[in-house]
Structure 1
Amino acid sequence: MEIIKDCKLVCKICQKEFSSISTKNRHIRTFHDEVTIEKKKLQRIRCPLCLEEEKFSCCEHLMEHLKQRHKVSIMESVLSFRNFKEAWRALDNRDVDYACYRRCKRPNGNEDIYYNCNRSDSRGFTSTCHKRNMKLGGSIRIQGTCPSRIVVKIQQNGMVEVKFVETHVGHADELRSKRLSKTEQDTLVQQLTAGVTKERIMSNSRIIENDKLQRINIITRGDLAYLIRKFNIDKRRNADDMIATALKIEEWNRQGKNNAFLFKQIGERYPGLRDEDFVVGYMNSVMEKKLKEFKRVICIDGTHGTNRRNWDLTVVLVKDENNMGFPVAFLLSNRLDQVIQEIFFSALKSRLRQSVEAEYIMSDDDIKYYNAWTKVMETERKPRRLLCTWHIIKNWNIQGRSKLKKPENRQEMKMKKMRNILKELLFSKRRKNHDVGSLS
């Protein structure tokens, strides 16, 4: 049986077969110098005025089409600068925004950079990716390609030549498609650096001057968050949270502060933990003093999904002199099980250089906190375990829904009788003190 060969992989001159088209083309260039290879250019540039017509392979063909077919006057200018910074400073003051589309280096050492209008559909197709939700106001991209573009040619000696096509076609001048100008950014950065709140900045920006709506009048929280990241206003040590945390803990250690008494990075080995685990425990000097002074009642609870990494936070509290909850230790970890709690309490015990002899441990109905505490602290008398009021009422409500069929009975139990039972001991103490006072 004769095998049918793919004609695309066969040299038309010597009938030699290759494994790929690039290998075949290299063979033609090497052994058949007189033959030129015709490269088929992708035609994905569409005219924004006649979307159903033919497509073009380059922007020059699109501009010729606009001139001849639609009688559009295209304004072009060529500028020269001594260096790229000077060119960028001049281009940054343009009213319309541009996005870097492509960079390429030439064999002679020159470099070309292409900036297209940010309203253009440069790809020529609609992506099927659904990782990000569409904006409520819709995308700013138009159907087709706007001819306005900037071509920057950087020579080896540093000179820069800029070809600027100023004419925009296919879209109107809309504020929502513009970025903040350099002056507007500087104004907002000064306010953020001075400590002005985001709510105050946004409220002040809504004031319209000279009856003309500007880009700064419609700023959002996203614009302010972008400026904070760009100018590092929040003084982040590194864009990577893991590296920034390690640098901060290293700074504490150099200053003699043992605030992070437990720290394990992802990929680092630690006894009892997996390589992919992350753990950091925090306590400062004030929190340490409070824990040693008010250790009679220890409250432990965990929160879930409070950050973008979906890590868990464990909080240890005590009742201070005002009978209020005061946090004395924090644990941030990627999981919340008894093993993590035992390592956390063991590091806490080492930080204090002593065991915490608590009389009561209050937590939710999960037993892991109590078991980990009693296992690590090893005190002579085990503390009594208490449940917080919220979990008691929650469990009573669950049982009441299954055992009390009438809604009025459930409502009476929930609002009156159940809460009276919780406060029965408190009422008894008050009644006893009142009786003693009356007799005296």
Structure 2
Amino acid sequence: MALVCEICCKHFSTQSSLNRHLKNVHKKTQKEKIIVAYNFEQFDSKCLEENCNTSYRFTAELRHHLQTIHNKDMETEVLNFSDITEFDSWLNDICKNDTLGFFRHKRLDEKTVYFSCNRSGSYKPKYQERAAKSQGSCKIGSKCTSQIILTHSTDGRYCVIYHKTHYGHAFEVQHIRIPKQTRIDIATKLTHGIAVTRVLDTVRNNFVEDKLSRTDLITRKDINNIKTAYHINIQDGVRHENDSVSVDLLVQECKEVGNEILLYKKQGETFSRLQDMDFCIVIMNKVQENIVQKFGNSVIAIDSTHGLNMYDFELTTLMVMDEFGEGFPAACMFSNRIDTVVHEIFFEHIRERCGVLNPKVFMSDITNVYYNAWYNVMGGEVPNRLFCSWHIDRAWRTNLNKITVAEKRKQVYQTLKILESMHKTLKYHYLDGKVVKRLDKGITAVLKYVRDKIVSRIIKISKGINNCHIQDIHKRHRAALTSTYEIIFNEANVWTIQLNNTTYVVSKKDTACEVPNCQLRCSFCNACVHEYECTCTDFYIRATICKHIHYIILNTRSNDEPRISPEVTLTTTAETLQCLRTLAKSCNTQDSTKHKIQEEINKMNVNINLCKEHNLQPLVLPHILKTMKTANSLLSRSNNESVTNSFPSISSEPSNKKLKKQMSFFSTKKKSKKVKVHISKPSGNETVTISSTLDINSDHDYL
């Protein structure tokens, strides 16, 4: 370990020789503070200045070195707080306003607490298999000079020494943690039952022009992490701890509000054509009935969904297509059975309410269960039968071969998938899968979709991108590392590879990628999806860098070619600023409305003072007064609105009354059981028989 004199930069091998040097040469006594400089790799408090490869044991020594040797301005501020709550509020404000982050050191002595910049330290991955974050590690590999020292004095006050100057990094918002108070606010909303979508919508309505904070970059994944950290479990629709009782209450509520239950068969009850252990519930209200009567003779779609509960009860939905060309759920059924019998019961209850239906199109999964039940109940053949979207997707890929141009073929398929994804997002994410009859609701959903796309782009610019496309590229890169192909060079930038009599042609385009700052690339191969082509199906269908392209690059690239770093540095570009301005204008709509109301009130006061009584018409004043009272009533109602909770009356029961066991749901799905085969040693008689049978000298009778 090399020791360096801080004054003359002379090197020493031991601490005693350095102390002797300081005492004899520089006349330093033991009472004076001695700062020892070590080699660069010894400690994390490193000096990053040019030609100064030193490190120090403590951050205070590094600050002293930078201030005295390199003339760095180390700003320090001393503050006093009356209680710890006041300090927490101050710390939250500086982290939020200055785009900073601090972490607390664990100490046994709580009288003095140290807070260091969250960029201090080095990242040491525990598992090499885990990919690095898209924005890179927040650790800079050394210690930052910014530090907060909190001391609890004997008089109860809190003294803070705040070293404000940061060193070794820039203020990058993607490396800052979500402020503690923001996380608490989000957790509070989640505990009150507010949906994640609504919480995210509230967070994204607070953009400030020309300034980006960590709160602005909150995603759905961040909110889910907060739910996990605070152990929040939102149980929607749970009316009782017992699932069976909760369903009974739900059925009762549905009947009261008009969501009529056509059939409710509990487990354990007797019902014709069903077993006692079967469960079945059919739901269809008056609106759904009218929709079926109006559109039921056009298109009927039957779809089943599993995985919505742990009892293996599957959801079957009958859908019709309305005048807007959208699917409308006309009837629903939960049942433990998916066979012709239970679907006949389902369709019979629909026939009793809506009459016989004769659709022109019947769409379902590839099975005859649904169609046979429909035919037995409704009667008559359906002219056209279609299959589910998975088969339509396969038909897309099959018919794409009719397009001769390969690049055009890929664009057509991607366009179809993007349109389908957008429609699903609007219907299920923003409209909650409900039919919207009002135009303003549809327009608002589209505007929110556009806003979230802008926010998503800001997040990608700020934090980098690590979506499913990048993951697919890296997955195929790992597959290429373990693959073995025979490479045949045909001509320049064209390779033919072969494995098990299967041949693929990989070619490199003559023109460079035309996409500015293309992010769909492999960080190891330093190639994007637009630079190479392959004749394999994976390249055209998935539109990604297949493993054949990775294999060619890995085996033909020289080791001198540079590789790009996965770390992304935040740069507030003109595009980001423009997005922020657009979002800020949309977020300030409500505030601007309040400002306009206040302006109108001020104008009214001015007009009242300027107006003379003889100029006012008698019928005008009552109308103005009525309008003002209505507006004041609306404001007062919104400020004083409260919710009162009523509790049910408590019934008295004998203390010795035995509890009645509640009925619970159970799965009726047959589970495959492994039969254990017990093998034992043969008995004495069996041993003699086996020996006689195996004796080659004896005669055997074979039947």
**What TM-score range do you get, normalising by the shorter chain?**
0.3 to 0.5
Q: Which has the larger radius of gyration?
A: 2
Which structure's relative contact order is higher, taking Cα pairs within 8 Å and 6+ residues apart? 2
TM-score scaled by length of structure 2:
0.32
